[in-house]
Amino acid sequence: MPAYSAQPDQPGTRPTESRQGPPPSRSGTYLSPRMWLLPLLVLLLLGGAGTALYIGGLGSPGDHLKHFPVAVVNEDAGTQMPGGGQENLGENITDQMQQGFNGNDKIDLRVLSWDQAKEQMGKGQIHGTVVIPESFSADAAALVSGTLSDTEVSRPEITVYTNPLAGPLASSLATSALDPAVEQVNRGLGEQLTTSAREAQGQAQGELEQELARLGADLPAELQQQVAPKVTGTSADLLAEPIAVQSAVYNAPPEGAALGMGAFFYSVLLMVVGLSGTVAIHFLVDARLGVAPVELGPRFSLGRPLQPARWQTYLLKWGLVVLGALPTAGLMMWVASAVGMPIPHGGWFFLTTWLSIVTVSAVTMALITLFGSAGMVLSLLYVVFMGLPAASGVVPLEALPGFFTFIARGEPLYQMTMANRAVLYFNADADAGVQSGIIGMLIIMLIAVALAMIFAAVYDKAFGYRAVQTAPSS
């Protein structure tokens, strides 16, 4: 009897070829290189590629900074400096920072007003901001005057704001970029104020001598030095580094937001649900259509062969996910809220949650349609191993290697993270990522569906409908 039996001829199908010959022995099958070599290659591919992509993408963010967005805000009103003219030290500091960062393309330093900085931090568009207050020059001038007298003074302050809702690691990178610049500015201002203090000291001594001469008084030089104002050792140390640098958080993450990582973690969860749910539905539907068997515990199930068209199968499977994702999105949001995750703008969040699952499913099912079982491996590489670093949920896009910056917009997880983060943390503002994330997911989804439908139709025409071959029999 034939080793493989053909399906009855049907329009649009090709009969499978009948072959004669004895069935292969079990020992021969188990020892065949085809039995163990392909699984080994799959593991090597996933392990090697996954490590290269994930660790290579996230391992050294500080070495890949490019146009990393930070800001400086100068609100200094300026003042009259002791022994000198009118000065705006805030402008000097801003100019020094611009000159320092203009020499490379790692940092994108934006000179903004405080309102502009708050708006951009409120949308996650900048990761750190240096704010120079209105009284900065006046406080610095008072510090110089105070070192020449017994007056109690305070140091001029600069505040460095971080934006953890845009990513905790991004805040750390912003601090690492801004702190050296602020330290350099501090030393430069220290030299300037020390010079001003020396000039003011010399001027005060000259005025004292003139006053003594006018009065006809003759004081010993030692007594004149004691009376005249001067910069002491303690005052000199204070002037050398005059700025008090304060660190502050702009919009601290709320409780349940995982220190600002909650949106990314939730997006990863949606990716897992979308990918694994799609694979499960793929096998269950194929079993019902008689295309491939599925095991449910001890039960081995295979439906009556229906030989469906590939494009119909794709729409059936993806349609089940599209419908099933509606209650799934509601359930996930309810559970997330129940365990303490804050969910503002529930309507928008339901939309981005549902759209995230549907987008991942469209891509995964398209890859399976195009490449068969190998599509599941490709889904892991594209959606997971390439998507996790490019998502910018851990490392911001401006600190990733160029490859991930290039592919990010085409990764479902990046668009999902941008949209979900904007809804959860940035008031569902369109410019914060809601608009671009939703549009990005829709584009990725449409491309995946179009490719799946085109190639499914081509496969059906060239190779016939999906048909089942019976297992070898003795």
Sequence-distant (≥ 6) Cβ neighbours of residue 351 within 8 angstroms = 438
CB atoms within 10 A of CB 473: 10
Task: Report the b/e string of 436-450 with b at 16+ CB within 10 A.
Answer: bbbebbeebbeebbe
CA distances, 170 to each of 68, 165, 221, 448 (Å): 9, 9, 59, 32
pLDDT at 12: 43
pLDDT at 54: 84
Sequence-distant (≥ 6) Cβ neighbours of residue 364 within 8 angstroms = 274, 275, 278, 279, 375, 376, 379, 383
Beta bridge partners of 80: 86
pLDDT at 84: 64
**3-class secondary structure for 310-339?**
HHHHHHHHHHHHHHHHHHHHHHHHHHHHHC
pLDDT at 239: 79
Which of 259, 382, 291, 277 lies closest to 325, judged by CA?
277
Q: Is 110 left (phi over 0), alpha (psi -120 to 50) or beta?
A: beta
Which of 92, 261, 91, 101 lies closest to 177, judged by CA?
101
pLDDT at 223: 44
What are the residue ranges spanned by the domains of the chain? Answer: 65-249, 257-463
Which tokens in the block code for residue 43? 């593991």
CB atoms within 10 A of CB 172: 16
CB atoms within 10 A of CB 1: 7
pLDDT at 287: 86
pLDDT at 1: 31
Contact 227, 208 (CB under 8 A): yes
Q: How many whole angstroms separate alpha carbon 57 and alpha carbon 404?
A: 7
Which of 423, 409, 410, 396 lies closest to 329, judged by CA?
423
Tokens 């990761």 — which residue? 127
Contact 318, 361 (CB under 8 A): yes
Q: Whole-model pTM?
A: 0.84
Which of 181, 175, 155, 182 lies closest to 248, judged by CA?
175
Q: What is the DSSP letter of 62?
A: G
**Average pLDDT per consecutive 10 residues, the chain (474 residues; last block may be shorter):** 37 44 62 79 89 86 91 92 79 92 89 96 95 92 74 83 91 92 90 72 53 52 48 65 91 89 95 96 89 80 80 94 97 96 95 98 96 93 94 90 93 97 95 96 98 94 68 44
Q: How many whole angstroms separate alpha carbon 471 and alpha carbon 23?
A: 10
Q: What is the DSSP letter of 210?
A: H
